[in-house]
Amino acid sequence: MLIFIPFLTVALVFLDLLGLQKEDHPTLTGWRVALLQAVLIAGVFIAIQSEIFSLFHVLSLPYVACAWLLALLISTWLGLRNRLLDRGWRRIATSIHSLDWFAIASLVAFTIIFLLLLVIVLIAPPNNTDSLLYHMSRVMHWVQDRSLAHYPIGFEPQLTNPIGAELIILQFRLFLGNDQLASLPQWLSLILCAIAVSLGARLLGAGRKGQLAAAAFAISIPMGLLQATSTQNDYVTALWLIILAVFVLYASQVEPGWAEILSISAAFGLGLLTKGTFYPYVVPLGIWLGLHWIKQRRWVVILKRGTVIALVVIVLNAGYWMRNFITYGGPLGSPQWVSSMTSANKGVLKPLASNLVKNIVLNLATPSAQINNTIVDLIKSNFQTSDPNVANFQLYWRWNHEDIAGNPLHLFLVIVIVATVLLLVALGRFKDRHLLWYTLAAIFSFVIFVMVTHFDQYGVRYQLPLMVIWAPVFGIVISHLNERWLVPLAIVSFFIISLPYVIFNSTRPLIAMKNGPEPYAIHTLRGLDVTKSSSIFFADQQMLLFANWPELRKPYAEITQAIQDNGCKQVGLRIDSHDLEYTFWWLLKAPQSGIRIESIYYSGQLARYADPSFKPCAIICTICDVRTRLHGLDLFGTYESVVKLYVGDSYSPLEDK
């Protein structure tokens, strides 16, 4: 029952904010504004309370639950004392009564998609490769340590990568004691992004139908539908980016109040806390807002606003930055790590055209290997002199996999949108320049992202936020085409094309695509890949966990069962950066089972975080070759030539034979 406290708190904050709005006041109003601001408050609250509790090593259920309960009581007291809850409820009722049949039908279609995805969230365990490597693994270390402090680990991105999305997962993990709701942040982000883009379309001048079309565009992005049931963080990043874009758009249209300034600050800070790619995403929005304020020449006001934004961003990120700085000498990790993830020391302008083309083409893989190879050869032949890395470029057809699925239709629509906006602006169909500024910001977000980050063969997932921010522009453009049938056709089409990505997710399918007889499965169509997993209604949890790596299921299950049979409660890990650490936590039911897991294989700069009292009675090793003894423990067994288990009670950190 405790899990309902955070949701109830956010709901009451939402009603309080809605009841607080004054229709005659020159500020952004409406239920969507109140909801997005309530979400920002929740994000800030999670970040701050996590850091505070972490300092005292009490980041655990009792303290987190008390914090939420206190927030619930305060929001209830404020709402009742000032009659905010009553006004909020009445405004919600008014909004519902104003819906027409078209809006209701559209919302029903959206809800069908949301509910189908929610079924996957509730049934399937996290099984994305990055989730098993570090997203979920870091959450388990935090739960075990009751702190966000750095710890010894072989895969150091667990420590260096931004932590925002995982902090939300941590809250659900503490309340439930399991990972059943671990994918909920991404699913909620899908819904909230749809709401935010509809608000953005309204600010650009779209009517209700255009706003619904914008929401349909955002909901139907293939990469988004696939990620909405995972514990990745690109949709959470997209949420903070589109909220920031909406409030920047508003601040460029009218004089913003402090509520809008604080909303900009919170979205900015939470975005930086969530993913490193947010840094380049946000640059054009910052330039747009900065230029708009500079034109006003109100230097004192600008200074006050800039100070508030900077302070909020620093407060939200200070803990994460400081831990990295202490360990690695930089807020985002070591200079070598940052350099490896960016274009630093690689040049920017020379390969820019090549990287732009490669990132765009990632969305255009086809079922035909011949066509894909032709596209790849064409790119290599044109850019081999300016981009030495182009030789490694490949194009893979995996239409329903969350790491590599392209967004060809939405890419085509973005191109059409850009051309239409430029044409309409040139023809004078838009009297103001806000649409043009927003469009330019969206374009340059992609350009700067390509300039700053290194090209990633699987980097199409990073483009999800960049697709989402185009949805408001789609809504206003389709509204100005003056075709009564166009918006309904667009929404119906988006709904239809969404269903395959919802139903046939490669690793978490509602219905599997298999060539053999199996419940909840169909035979594959020509040109379509089989799903990696059986249906979530048929496969057991362990099968789903290893959907991407089925060959590891048997040895990992056997080695963890052997540890449990031996009654060992302290388990050491000697694993490499490519090993799926979270699967060991999951199979051992740690830490709730009483089993403690720590890495005994780590770099020298992490030695300061090692606990000298930790003496494992079992060591799982994936990089031990022919060793028969490790740290004083004897070899117990080798499983499928993949992983070894060492068992004993004479652990010595100095003995490594």
Which among 213, 237, 231, 227 is positioned nearest to 502, based on CA atoms? Answer: 227
**Do residue 630 and residue 568 come from a single domain?**
yes
Do 539 and 554 sit in the same domain of this protein? no
* Alpha carbon distance 586, 179 (integer Å): 9
The residues pairing with 644 across neighbouring beta strands, listed in sequence order, are 621, 638
Measured CA to CA, the distance from residue 85 to residue 354 in angstroms comes to 55
Contacts of 312 (CB under 8 A, 6+ apart): 44, 262, 265, 266, 268, 269
Pair (594, 612) in one structural domain: yes
pLDDT of residue 529: 61
In a domain, 200, yes or no: no
560 in a domain, yes or no?
yes
Q: What is the pLDDT of residues 54-94, one digit of tens each?
A: 999 999 999 999 999 999 999 999 999 989 999 999 999 99
Strand order in the sheet with 643-647: 596-599, 570-574, 618-621, 643-647, 633-639, 629-630
| Structural tokens at position 442 | 């969206």
Structural domain count of the chain: 2
pLDDT score at 521: 85
Mean pLDDT by 10 residues, the chain (657 residues): 94 96 74 97 98 98 98 96 93 93 96 98 96 97 98 95 98 96 98 98 94 98 98 98 97 91 98 97 96 90 95 98 96 87 62 90 93 94 87 91 95 94 78 87 96 90 97 94 86 97 96 84 70 90 96 97 96 94 98 96 92 96 92 95 94 75
CA distance 7 to 523: 41
Residue 533: per-residue pLDDT: 86
**619 assigned to some structural domain:** yes
pLDDT score recorded for residue 347:
55
Per-residue pLDDT, 344: 54
Residue in the block written with tokens 């649409």: 435
Cα dihedral 367, 371, 376, 377, rounded to 10, equals: 160
Q: Are residues 528 and 605 in the same domain?
A: no
Residues 135, 128: contact at Cβ < 8 Å? yes
Note whether 540 and 561 are same-domain residues: no
| Structural domain that includes position 524 | 509-545
Contact 278, 448 (CB under 8 A): no
Confirm whether 197 is domain-assigned.
Answer: no
What is the spatial distance between Cα 454 and Cα 461, in angstroms, rounded to a whole number? Answer: 14
Query: 607 and 634 share a domain?
Result: yes
Cα separation of 193 and 219, whole Å?
8
Torsion angle of alpha carbons 427, 432, 433, 434, nearest 10°? -130
Examine the domain organization and report whether 538 and 565 are in the same domain: no
Residue 461's contacts (CB-CB under 8 Å, 6 or more residues apart) are 223, 227, 232, 234, 402, 403, 404
Which residues share a beta bridge with 637? 645
Q: Are residues 567 and 636 in the same domain?
A: yes
What per-residue confidence (pLDDT) applies to 389? 84
Residues with Cβ < 8 Å from 555, sequence gap 6 or more? Answer: 639, 640, 642, 643
Note the pLDDT of residue 657.
Answer: 47
Whether the bond into 616 is cis, omega within 30 of 0 = no
322 found inside a domain: no
One-letter amino acid identity for 422?
L
Q: Tell the residue number behind the tokens 């700069």, with chain if given.
A: 605
> Assign residue 293 a region: left if phi > 0, alpha if psi is -120 to 50, beta otherwise?
alpha
What pLDDT does residue 543 have?
96
Residue 564 shares a structural domain with residue 578:
yes
**Rounded CA gap, 418 and 650, in Å?**
67
**Domain identity same for 575 and 617:** yes
Query: Does residue 72 fall inside a structural domain?
Result: no
540 falls within a domain: yes
**Do 561 and 624 fall within a single domain?**
yes
569, part of any domain: yes
- Give the Cα separation of 527 and 419 in Å (integer): 32
Tokens of 358: 């490669």
Q: How far apart are CA 120 and CA 274, in angstroms?
A: 23
Spatial separation of the C-alpha atoms in residues 42 and 240, rounded to whole Å: 12
Among 387, 312, 313, which residue's Cα sits nearest to residue 348? 387
Same domain, 568 and 628: yes
